Each structure stands twice: as C-alpha cells, then as structure tokens.
Amino acid sequence: MGFRYTMIGAALCIFIFYLGLIFSLFYFVGGKGFWEALANPYTLFSIRLSLFAATIATCFAVIIGLPSAYALSRFEFPGKRILDTFLEIPIIMSPIALGASFLVFFNTPLGEFIQHKGIFFVFEVPGIILAQFASIAGLATRLMKASLDEISPRYEAVARSLGSSPWKAFCGITLPLSFKGLLASVVLSWAKAVGEFGATVTLAGAMPGKTETMPIAVFTAIASANIEKAIVLILILVAFGLFTLYAIRLTGKRYRYD
Amino acid sequence: MINIQGLTILFESFKITDLNINIEEGEFHFLLGPTGSGKTLILESIMGLRKPHQGRIWIGEKEVQNLPPEQREISYVPQDLALFPHLRVKENVLYGIRARNLNLKLYEKYIDDLIEVMRIGHLLERYPANLSGGEKKRVALLRALGPKPKLLLLDEPLSGLDLSIKIEIQHLLKTLHSSFRPTTLCVTHDFEEAYFLGDGITICIDGRVEQVGRRNDVFRRPKSRKVAQFLGAKNLYKAKVLGREESLQRVILGVNGLQFYIPKSLSQETFELGTEVHLFIRPEEVMIIREGKSVKDSLKQNIFEGKILDTIDRGGYHMVYFETTEGKIRFEISIPNYAFRNLDLSIGKMVRVALREESLWVIP
C-alpha cells in the first residue's frame, strides 16, 4: 500500500500547491482599491480587448489549422514530418523571441511593404492578434489532428464508396464525429491565446487603452505596485481558465448516441 | 461483369503482382488468401482508395481505375463495418441513396424488401451503439446494397462473430445473394466460408494468384502444393510415378512402397515415369470399410489395411488418425458421428480403408 499512497500523495501535493496559490489571492480581495480597480475603464478595456483578440486569433487558427490537421492526419506527402515538427516552434521558442522575430520581420522590405500597403501590426491591435495566432496555431493544429486521428478513416472510405465526394464525407461524417474533440481543441487554444503575454507585449507593446491585454495589464499593475488591480485581473484570468477547463470536461465526455 | 487485369500493388512490404480476376454478373466470388497477404490492399485498390502501381479495372463497359471512389459504384463493407455512429440505422441505410442524389421513391420497394430479408425493420430508429454484433453486420450489408452498386466488396464479413451469429449471417448472405444476386467480391482467409458461399474462387498466396476456379475444383483439385497446404490439406504425400496402364487409362503411383491407382484424367499433366509428384486426398474422402461388407468395384483398387492411432471428437464429426500396416502411411480421416459409432471405432483397432479413384489428386 506504501506505493499507492506515495503516488496519490504526490498527486494531492500538486493539487494543494495550485489551490493554495489561488486562495492566497483572496487575501487582498474586498479592499477599497479592489473595487476601484474592477470598475476602472482601462481594466474593462483590457478584458474586452483580450477576449476580442483571442477570439479572432482562434478563428484564424481554426481556418488554417483544421485543413492542416486533416492533411497531417490523413495524407502522406513529402515534407510531412518536417511540417509536423514545425508545429512545435512556438512551444520550443521563447514567446519574447517569437515577438521579437516579428519585429525583425516587419523591418525587412517585405514586412515594410505589408505594413505600408496593408495593415499595421507593430504596436497595434492586429499585432496582438498576429502574436496570439502565432503562439496558438501550432498547438491548435496539433490538438485538432489528435481529434481527427481518433476517427477511423474507414468511415470516410465507406461514405465515398456510397457516393459522397471527399468534401461531403468530411463535412457529413468526419466533422460531426470529431466535433467534440475539435471543440475542446478550440477552447484550449482560445484559453492559451487569452493568456499569451511575451509575444504580444514585444510586438504590440503595452499601451493602456490601446494594446494592453489582460496578462500585460497584470504585468504593468505589478510593475507599478498596484496589487489590487493585478489581483482583479488575475482572478478574472483564473475564472476564464476554470471555465475553459469545465468546458473541456463537458466536451470530453464521449457522446454515446443513445 | 467485373474484370480486373494485371493489378499490381506495391506498398511497404506488400507486393501483389499481376492480379487478374473475372467476376460474372450476379456471381459471389471469393478472393481467398492467408491472413496478411494484402487482401485489404486489393480491395482498397479496386474501390479507388489506393492507386495501384499498374492494372486496369472494368465495371461492365466502364473502365474505372482512374475514377474517384464515389464514381465507381462499388459498395464496400469493411471488416469493422464502420457504421456511422451519429446516424440512426435508417439514415445509415439510406446514406448511399442520398449521397448519390437518387430518387428515393424508386428505391422504396427495393429497400423495404431488403429490410424484410435482413429482418432489421424493428431497428430502424436505433443508433449503431445499441445494436448487437449480428445486427450491425446486417445493417452494414443493407447500407452497402442500398444504392444498388455494380459491385459489392466484403472484407472478412464473418470474422469476429460468435459461432451461432456467424452461422446466422452466413445463411443470411446466402439468402441475400440468391434473392438479389448482387455481384460480390469477398476477401477472406476462411476457406470454409468461401466453400459455403462462393461460386468462384481466386486463391492468392504471397501476392500471386495461385488458382482460379469454381469452388469444387479448387477444393478438391488444388493446382499446387501451396494451394493444397493453404486449404488445410491433411493427406498430402510425396509419390513417384511407377507406371501406366494405358488400356485402363490409369497411372500407378508409389508412396512408401504402397501402390495407388489413379485415373489418368485426374492428374493435371502426363507425368513421365519416375517423376516425383504429390498425391492428395481430402480427409472426408477416405472411407473406412465395415467388416464383412462387400466393396464396390470402384473402390477395389485402392484398399489399405492398418491401425487406428487416435480418434478426436470435433463436435460435428470425428477425426480418425489411421496408419497403414505396410508403408506406415498416415491418413487423417474425417467421418460423421453416426458412421463413427456404427463402425465401432477405437484406438488400436485394425481396419481397412478404401480410396475412391476419383477422390485422389496428383499435384506436381
């Protein structure tokens, strides 16, 4: 039994560790500064901005990630392994380095051309979306690929033998069958986008009321010793996080079709 | 008619070369081969999921090897069935008709008939998760037949079923085939299944077609040792051509000093004297002679005396292991239970066996 208790004990330690961390935040909750910080227009702006940017970034990640995930899951093609490995770039690369790479890119002739003829990214809201997209696209693709991998390609094979085009088989069979898994991937990617800090702050800066997302606002609040504001924002981030986990739990339940 | 010509598939360690299969309209054709011989690859190439290295496929007048699966009119029932779990049985069954935008009205009667033969009328509103193994098979078959395909492909349709359900589905396939006559190509490793259901059989071993023929020919007259062994041939002996009786149109073969008389028409080629060949007889074709009973003329040529070494009750029949006194040749003999009891057989008993000339077969 010693073995069993050691293992379960370790699991409990992790649980208590995180729970303690969250509970410690409540030490400062309820003071006058706390409610002021919550009602502060800049705080509300950063919440809105975070949700907006993360949602747009997630949409782009799905638009490009879902077909990519399908290709990686179902087809063999030259360079597939390299492509698959590259999905991990944002994971192995420091977020600051990722953001800095964008700054460098927008100083190349091509980057300057894009900025002058198209959209401004550096120190602008599109920069936030781009930075968040860059940090979640690989993850979203990887997670969606895992969901598609779970669905046997034979369903599509049968659907096609019965007369469905590849598009029809994908939309009518594979997509509904993997929907729960895909949804969980999207929710998780969105949560990661909401929490993105390093790349965002490097590319879009930290201008309150303009490019200050929630994690950036936490950082600036701490830097200026505004503990109450920081805690308000952290609690909101934690709430979003817990909501996300709950949503994934819901989607994680296997649908039994009965 | 389905005509597959020179199909060559190279995939990882699998190599299937120059596969030719002809299937008449309404025929139940079996592609029989050992497990792991690439049979599923062949099916996937026929239905268009895999591009073969070479080869042409005709479905009637239409050459289809360059068409995508949805334009080939070939329905496919995979081994795992792949019933769409998010669709009810009814929606599964109608999937093909809807996918092809066919007029459902024109198919109503046909589908109703199929539902009746398959006895799934009471399951139509259920989801596949709530069906038993046998019910799932029936639904999958019906779904495949729904859009009236030109060819039905079955991948090991009876594998993974309990014996009672297996027998039920086997009979159902037979009824289904005799009522609707779909042109069918079924791959399996189970030769009993092929024997029960098949009109024609193609035997494919190590990526090569070893024999094509009607089922009786294939089972009783294997062309090579490979085929005989794959078909579970038990009584296969090395023999030598000792002589010919031209007047009686017979060949004499020697096995361990014993002589076997075989009608000339039953060996595939005219073997030279002294040629080494193989002699084959199926276990159910060896007769144990009842003591004191007279023997028919056709049996008189090949009678051997010996001892029963062992008997095994196989449920539906008995397996008797017999060894000739002279030459020590061992035979496996399968006999029905009633015959086993009537003959009062036991280990150590001396008996005589007779081989009908026509049941012997010579393989190079």
Q: Is B340 a residue whose pLDDT tops 50? A: yes
Domain count, chain B: 2
Rounded to the nearest 5 percent, the helix, strand and coil shares of chain B are 30, 35, 35
Give the CATH number for residue B284: 2.40.50.100
* Same domain assignment for residues B172 and B296: no
pLDDT on residue B195: 86
* Same domain assignment for residues B190 and B307: no
Kindly report, residue by residue over A207-252, the tens digit of the pLDDT. Answer: 888 999 999 999 999 999 888 888 889 999 998 888 888 877 876 5
Mean predicted confidence (pLDDT) in B121-143: 93
* Same domain assignment for residues B132 and B195: yes
pLDDT on residue A257: 44
* Same domain assignment for residues B238 and B222: no
Directed axis angle between helix A227-252 and helix A32-39, to 10°? Answer: 70
pLDDT on residue B314: 87
Answer with the one of B201, B228, B255 that is the final residue of a domain: B228
Q: Is B244 a residue whose pLDDT tops 60? A: yes
- Residue A158 touches chain B, beta carbons under 8 Å: yes
* Same domain assignment for residues B323 and B202: no
Band of the pLDDT at B262, cuts 50, 70, 90?
confident
* Same domain assignment for residues B53 and B138: yes
* Same domain assignment for residues B263 and B310: yes
- pTM (2 decimals)? 0.81
How many helices (H) and strands (E) would you count in chain A? 14, 0
Q: Is A12 a residue whose pLDDT tops 50? A: yes
The DSSP output letter for B348 is T
Of B320, B317, B301, B306, whose CA–CA distance to B359 is shortest?
B301
| Contact residues on chain B for A155, CB-CB shorter than 8 A | 82, 84
Cβ within 8 Å, pair B99-A163: yes
* Same domain assignment for residues B294 and B159: no
* Same domain assignment for residues B117 and B204: yes
Cβ within 8 Å, pair B70-A164: yes
CA nearest A151 in B: which residue?
Answer: B82
* Same domain assignment for residues B174 and B238: no
Mean predicted confidence (pLDDT) in A23-38: 79
* Same domain assignment for residues B142 and B15: yes
Distance CA B50, CA B60 (A): 21
β-strands B276-281, B361-363 pairing? antiparallel
CA nearest A175 in B: which residue?
Answer: B86
- Residue A242 touches chain B, beta carbons under 8 Å: no
Answer with the one of B172, B206, B228 that is the final residue of a domain: B228
Q: Are B56 and B62 in contact (CB under 8 A)?
A: no
pLDDT on residue A91: 85
Mean predicted confidence (pLDDT) in B95-123: 92
Distance CA B307, CA B333 (A): 12
| Contact residues on chain A for B84, CB-CB shorter than 8 A | 155, 158-159, 173, 177
- Residue B315 touches chain A, beta carbons under 8 Å: no
Kindly report, residue by residue over A179-200, the tens digit of the pLDDT. Answer: 988 998 999 999 999 999 999 9
- Residue A31 touches chain B, beta carbons under 8 Å: no
pLDDT on residue B183: 94
pLDDT on residue A117: 83
Structural domain including B322 reads 234-363
Give the CATH number for residue B95: 3.40.50.300
Closest chain A C-alpha to B69 CA, distance in angstroms: 5
- Residue B144 touches chain A, beta carbons under 8 Å: yes
* Same domain assignment for residues B244 and B189: no
- Residue A160 touches chain B, beta carbons under 8 Å: yes
CA nearest B85 in A: which residue?
Answer: A257
| Contact residues on chain B for A177, CB-CB shorter than 8 A | 84-86
Of B21, B34, B40, whose CA–CA distance to B82 is shortest?
B40
Cβ within 8 Å, pair B70-A161: yes
Q: Is A201 a residue whose pLDDT tops 50? A: yes
Distance CA B38, CA B92 (A): 28
Kindly report, residue by residue over A153-184, the tens digit of the pLDDT. Answer: 999 999 999 999 999 999 999 999 999 889 98
pLDDT on residue B91: 95
CA nearest A74 in B: which residue?
Answer: B49
What are φ and ψ of residue B96, in 5° steps? -65, -40
β-strands B317-324, B235-245 pairing? unpaired
pLDDT on residue B270: 67
Answer with the one of B213, B228, B243 that is the final residue of a domain: B228
- Residue A175 touches chain B, beta carbons under 8 Å: no
Any idea which of A75-89, A237-251, B161-175, B338-352 has the lowest mean pLDDT? A237-251
Cβ within 8 Å, pair A154-B80: yes
Q: Are B41 and B18 in contact (CB under 8 A)?
A: no
CA nearest A176 in B: which residue?
Answer: B86
